[in-house]
Amino acid sequence: LQLPNYEKQIEQIGANILPEDTATYIYTSGTTGIPKGVVLTHNNITSNTRNLPPMANIKPLDKFLAILPPWHAFERTVEYTVLNVRAFLIYSKPVPSILLRDISLENPQYIVSVPRVWEGVYEGVIRAVKSGGKFTFGLFSFFQSIAIFNFRKKIALTNQIPFFSQDEYVKNLVMKPWSFLCYILSYPLFLLGSILVFSKIKVLLGTGFKCGISGGGALPRHIDEFFNSVGVKILEGYGLTETAPVVTVRRFQKPTMYTIGDWVPQTLIEIRDDNGVKVPTGHKGIIHIKGPQVMKGYYKMEEQTAKVLKDGWFNSGDIGKMDIRGYVQITGRAKDTIVLSGGENIEPEPIEKKLCESPFIQFAVVVGQDKKMLGALIVPNLENFANFFKEKEGKNITNLTEVCNNELTRTVIQKEIQRLISYSNGFKRYELIGGFELIDKEFTPSDELTESLKVRRNVVFEKYAKKIEKIYNR
């Protein structure tokens, strides 16, 4: 069978395409409203595929394990980047058993996913360790604390942390002899922990593993620190569908922790106030982006385009602050800001992240618009509560309804909220949670979550309006 040769026709089509021509429409998942069609050009997309390989140390023939849906903006850019460098792309699923099987079979260099997948891996590690008994878990916890302590001193020595003022930089400089001493003294124990404990985690990710790339949402700090401290490098990036999507990513060679990384080449970032005025270094504001990856606009939505795109600068709607070297730290989302009846402006995301550090909380959504205090909708962690009730009361719990109907659950959740959202953890009085309600249903991508596993606030607020009302009527 002789197939026709379309090479010349394909070359001709390519020759007629201009960088500024529309390449695709990608509809946003609509976490806060109606989905919008993002118009991306060929240059928007290829600017990322050119710039990402040197930043993430991607080489020809490297293997990528893909977990995100192939239509997701982040996943599409990964696909194009892989094709551009002649690497391999292996499709998997965010299901632990399938994911571990595919890692074992393919031994990838890169695993690309959203933060929720890394949280799942972390939770799986903790569950596995706990199943080994109290001594095993105690040993693991000890070496984990040593690893994080050692890691923090190391990145302080190498300036791989943000400095939001000159004073912070000078303070770190003065403390370097102490950091060096702590690093040296804790290193033997860290090395022992690596051999006895952490090597087993690395084996799960394969012998060829270089690093994980996390995008599509903010990576919780405790997850970020855990993996990087035990020698599993995760590069966090930042972007939006409107920026094709990558704006920043931590560099493979020297990643700066607690930030979203280095600016992609030819990209400019400014932090501005509500009036569009650039704020001083270290001050919070809305992140604005300018660069070759910024979209043309929203399809047939001129008014919405004009609101976010002015003079080539894109208003991301994300709140952040910039350090003295230009590294940015995300602190929340402007559209998600809750204004209490007393006028206090609160970013719910940091509170929700802190709540989800609890092994008993699967999802948390902070509420309180125009109310006197904050409240929270809590989805309990079924597996951890099932183990808790088995040990505490000898009961076999099989679903979330049983968990939510048990009086002890409210007591446990209340204690966890008070422990995590407290003055000692840096929260202000008006950021404390005054009440909560339990939800006896898992959040799913077809309902309360986007495909990248971020909460659709508008869906949650509408669906659980009666529960929100109940928080304030108790």
Per residue of the chain (474 residues), give pLDDT as tens: 566 777 888 888 888 999 999 999 998 855 445 789 999 999 999 999 999 999 999 999 999 999 888 888 889 999 999 999 999 999 998 887 888 899 999 999 999 988 888 888 888 889 889 888 999 999 999 999 999 999 999 999 999 999 999 999 999 999 999 999 999 999 999 999 999 999 988 888 989 999 999 987 788 899 999 999 999 999 999 999 999 999 999 999 999 999 999 999 999 999 999 889 999 999 999 999 999 999 999 999 999 999 999 999 999 988 899 999 999 999 877 778 787 876 687 889 899 999 999 999 999 999 998 788 999 999 999 999 999 999 888 888 899 999 999 999 999 999 999 999 999 999 999 999 999 999 999 999 878 988 778 888 888 998 999 999 999 987
Judgement on whether residues 244 and 346 belong to the same structural domain of the protein: no
16, β-bridge pairs: none
Q: Does residue 392 lie within any of the structural domains?
A: yes
> Which sign, positive or negative, has the C-alpha torsion 78, 83, 87, 90?
positive
217: which DSSP letter?
S
Q: Distance between CA atoms of 415 and 423, rounded to whole angstroms? A: 14
Q: Does residue 2 lie within any of the structural domains?
A: no
Q: Does residue 198 lie within any of the structural domains?
A: no
Asked which of 295, 311, 333 is the last residue of a domain, the reply is: 333
Judgement on whether residues 248 and 309 belong to the same structural domain of the protein: yes
Structural Rg of the chain based on CA atoms: 23
Judgement on whether residues 223 and 102 belong to the same structural domain of the protein: yes
Judgement on whether residues 299 and 385 belong to the same structural domain of the protein: no
Q: Does residue 137 lie within any of the structural domains?
A: no
Judgement on whether residues 343 and 454 belong to the same structural domain of the protein: yes
pLDDT at residue 1, as a whole number: 58
Judgement on whether residues 328 and 341 belong to the same structural domain of the protein: no
Asked which of 281, 315, 333 is the last residue of a domain, the reply is: 333
Sequence-separated (6 or more) residues with CB below 8 Å from residue 158? 254
Kindly tell me the burial class for residue 187, based on how many C-beta atoms sit within 10 Å of its own C-beta (0-12, 13-18, 19 or more): middle
What CATH number did the domain enclosing 257 receive?
Answer: 3.40.50.12780
Asked which of 303, 333, 363 is the last residue of a domain, the reply is: 333
- Count of domains observed in the chain: 2
The CA-atom distances, in angstroms, between 128 and each of 137, 164, 432 are: 9, 39, 33
Judgement on whether residues 316 and 347 belong to the same structural domain of the protein: no
Asked whether 163 and 323 are in contact (CB, 8 A), the reply is: yes
Q: Does residue 407 lie within any of the structural domains?
A: yes
Q: Does residue 1 lie within any of the structural domains?
A: no
Q: Does residue 148 lie within any of the structural domains?
A: no
Judgement on whether residues 224 and 87 belong to the same structural domain of the protein: yes
Residue type, 354: K
Q: Does residue 373 lie within any of the structural domains?
A: yes
Domain housing 244: 13-121+211-333
What CATH number did the domain enclosing 393 receive?
Answer: 3.30.300.30
Judgement on whether residues 427 and 308 belong to the same structural domain of the protein: no
Judgement on whether residues 396 and 326 belong to the same structural domain of the protein: no
Q: Distance between CA atoms of 260 and 287, rounded to whole angstroms? A: 12
Judgement on whether residues 314 and 371 belong to the same structural domain of the protein: no
Judgement on whether residues 345 and 369 belong to the same structural domain of the protein: yes
Q: Which two tokens stand for residue 250?
A: 């931590």
